[in-house]
Amino acid sequence: MSGAMPLDRMLRGNHFLPMSIRIILLGLFISAASVFTTTFAKADNAQDAYANGDYKAAMQLWKTQAHTGDVVAMFGIGDLYLLGEGVPKDHAEAAKWYRRAAELGYGRAQSYLGAMYRNGDGVPQNKDEALRWYHKAADQNIPAALNALGDMYLNGEGVPKSESEAMKWYQKLHDAN
């Protein structure tokens, strides 16, 4: 026997923690669980609203979540503006929301922002910025970014043309899948 006290015995005995501390800890645990559950319920509700075509409800829920730093919500808002779902189509506004999520490290948003800079869609065309965002997304093995980097090197788009460098990115894409 390791000498460790079983958890149930520790929780029952006064020698572990005074009752007042246990009650406080239980309250904190319940509060944290409630916040965690509420956050994911809201995310599910926004996704459900989006999936059901209720884009205005999805926007409202995502905006609330975006203000708390939720990168998935920011990305969702970007999608609504990119596709013109529930709001007028506005690629510049989509780019702003993708940038917010991208700057917080969200790989899918980084990849989308790279594509927008590559094509001059909603932002001025800028191959250096496209490469920068694609590289950040590629560091997270985002398939679209890996493929885009391969294409850019293959075609010499903003970088010296290099089949070997292109193959490196295509191999990473293959390995990621």
Residue 70's domain spans which residues? 17-176
Q: What does the pLDDT read at residue 40? A: 42
DSSP assignment of 32-81 equals HHHHHHHHHHHHHHHHHHHHTT-HHHHHHHHHHHHTTT-HHHHHHHHHHH
Nearest residue to 74 via CA among 59, 57, 84: 59
Q: Give pLDDT tens digits for 48-85.
A: 999 999 999 999 999 999 999 999 999 999 999 999 99
- Count CB-CB contacts under 10 A for residue 175: 9
In a domain, residue 165? The reply is yes
Residues of the chain with pLDDT under 50: 1, 5-15, 34-43
Cα separation values, 64 from 29, 57, 68, Å: 24, 11, 7
Is 5 inside any structural domain?
Answer: no
Q: How high is the pLDDT of residue 149?
A: 98
11 inside domain: no
Q: pLDDT value at position 14?
A: 47
What is the total count of domains within the chain?
Answer: 1
Q: Rounded distance, CA 53 to CA 33, Å? A: 30
CATH number of the domain residue 57 falls in = 1.25.40.10
Q: Does some domain include residue 123?
A: yes
